[in-house]
Amino acid sequence: MIYLFLAVIGAYCDVPALLQDGTLAIWLLVIICIIVLIHAALLMGVAKLLKQDPDVVAVASQANIGGSSSALALARSLGRPDLQLPAILVGTLGNGLGTYLGFAVAEWLR
């Protein structure tokens, strides 16, 4: 079911519609790609410095960026069944905390 979910999400990625929205959409896409690349480089660099398992760091990073479903897919693709449950839990915790904190900040700014 997770793979079906990811396939449906990927099917709705409409690059021509993004290009039709003008330069703002393109700049947003470029900025997001740069942020994710910097995130990955820093995370893997620090993980290598601290001698951490790169699979664990990659799954934790994916749970941070993409949520529990994509972190689960990454853990499965890496062949690490021991990371599947933590991927789901960390991704779900991040979604819950992020939602709560997002509403709290929105209310504070209002």
- In the prediction, which pLDDT does 107 show? 94
pLDDT band at 1 (very low <50, low <70, confident <90, very high): low
CA distances from 96 to 1, 18, 52, 91 (A): 22, 29, 27, 9
pLDDT of 79 higher than 90: yes
Q: Give the highest mean pLDDT range of 21-30, 57-66, 80-89.
A: 80-89
Q: Which two tokens stand for residue 53?
A: 């398992």
Q: Is the pLDDT of residue 10 over 70?
A: no
Q: Report pLDDT for 83.
A: 93
* Three-point CA angle 18, 100, 47, nearest 5°: 70
73, two tokens: 């897919």
Question: Which residues contact residue 106 at a Cβ distance below 8 angstroms, ignoring those fewer than 6 apart?
Answer: none
Sorting pLDDT into bands at 50, 70 and 90, what band is 11? low
